[in-house]
């Protein structure tokens, strides 16, 4: 009987608005599935096993957690008065298992503080060894770039480059409407906002620092309808 393949990447599922489908291109069958709190319910909704469940479990349904335990999930329970968010705990669970690539889905609960905290956590030095991409509703993606990242999307899609935790030096781009050639982006500057993909692929690389590369989704490109489509929670 063939042995199960050891996962080489991780899928972190967060709570928030229900996810109806996984982002295109993600094959969870070959990934370590880490569910943060009510991300357990997200996994069940998507028909996915849960390999690791983490959090204080104040928002997961009792039936959902019981189902994960019965299926053999590793449960890492933390106190309610904890110093870290469930996303941070989930990324810790990935890092200690020596995985590098991480896709994060869910977490769109409408709270600005959670959105900002999650973005900064993913870009923190603590997770410098991880290659993180977060997927939001309506095709949005957020890439944490420390050296080089190839982007894919629709021609004309917006691409915003934001330096965090200090200046980003030697920033170079390919396939974007407004190219950068070894330049510096300062944190707090809007210089990298609203660049655009020329074709279906682009490249962002840098020598020093960390960039949050935000792609708000195909609906946000120039000439698209003013309002995002409703009922969509998938990404490219």
pLDDT in tens, 106-132: 887 678 888 899 999 999 999 999 999
Extract the tokens encoding 194.
Answer: 């609203």
Residues 132 and 104: their CA atoms lie apart, in Å, by 7
- Average the pLDDT over each of 14-23, 139-148, 191-200 and give the range with the smallest value: 14-23
pLDDT, residue 113, reads 87
Extract the tokens encoding 61.
Answer: 């349904």
Confidence of residue 84 (pLDDT cuts 50, 70, 90): confident
For residues 122 and 81, the model is more confident at 122
Token pair 């994060």 is found at 104
182 to each of 22, 168, 169, 170, 208, how far by Cα in Å?
35, 10, 7, 4, 11
pLDDT, residue 227, reads 54
Query: What pTM does this model have?
Result: 0.88
Residues 155 and 142: their CA atoms lie apart, in Å, by 17
pLDDT, residue 235, reads 28
Looking at the DSSP assignment, which residues form a beta bridge with residue 110? none
Q: In the predicted model, is pLDDT for residue 236 greater than 80?
A: no
pLDDT in tens, 131-166: 999 998 778 999 999 999 999 999 999 999 999 999
DSSP character string of 100-121: -EEEEE---SS-HHHHHHHHHH
Residues 233 and 70: their CA atoms lie apart, in Å, by 29
* Mean pLDDT of the region 81-97: 90
Confidence of residue 2 (pLDDT cuts 50, 70, 90): very low
Residues 11 and 27: their CA atoms lie apart, in Å, by 9
28 to each of 24, 49, 121, 130, 151, how far by Cα in Å?
11, 9, 23, 18, 21
Percent of the chain with pLDDT over 90: 71
pLDDT, residue 230, reads 45
Extract the tokens encoding 156.
Answer: 């004309």
Domains of the chain and CATH, by start: 1-135 (3.40.50.10240), 139-236 (3.40.50.10240)
């Amino acid at each position: 009987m063939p042995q199960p393949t050891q996962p080489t990447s991780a899928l972190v599922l967060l709570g928030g608005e229900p996810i109806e489908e996984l982002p295109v291109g993600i094959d969870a069958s070959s990934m370590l599935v880490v569910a943060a709190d009510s991300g357990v319910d997200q996994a069940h909704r998507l028909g996915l096993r849960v390999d690791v469940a983490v959090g204080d479990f104040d928002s997961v349904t009792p039936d959902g957690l019981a189902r994960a335990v019965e299926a053999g999930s590793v449960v890492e329970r933390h106190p309610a008065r904890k110093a870290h968010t469930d996303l941070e705990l989930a990324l810790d669970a990935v890092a200690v298992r020596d995985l590098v690539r991480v896709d994060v889905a869910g977490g769109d609960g409408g709270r600005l503080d959670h959105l900002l905290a999650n973005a900064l956590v993913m870009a923190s030095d603590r997770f410098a060894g991880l290659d993180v991409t977060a997927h939001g509703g309506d095709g949005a993606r957020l890439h944490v770039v420390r050296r080089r990242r190839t982007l894919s999307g629709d021609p004309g899609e917006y691409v915003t480059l934001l330096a965090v935790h200090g200046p980003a030096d030697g920033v170079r781009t390919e396939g974007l409407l407004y190219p950068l050639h070894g330049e510096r982006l300062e944190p707090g500057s809007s210089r990298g906002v609203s660049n655009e993909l020329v074709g279906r692929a682009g490249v962002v690389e840098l020598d020093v620092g960390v960039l949050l590369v935000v792609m708000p989704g195909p609906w946000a490109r120039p000439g698209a309808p003013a309002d995002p489509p409703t009922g969509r929670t998938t990404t490219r």
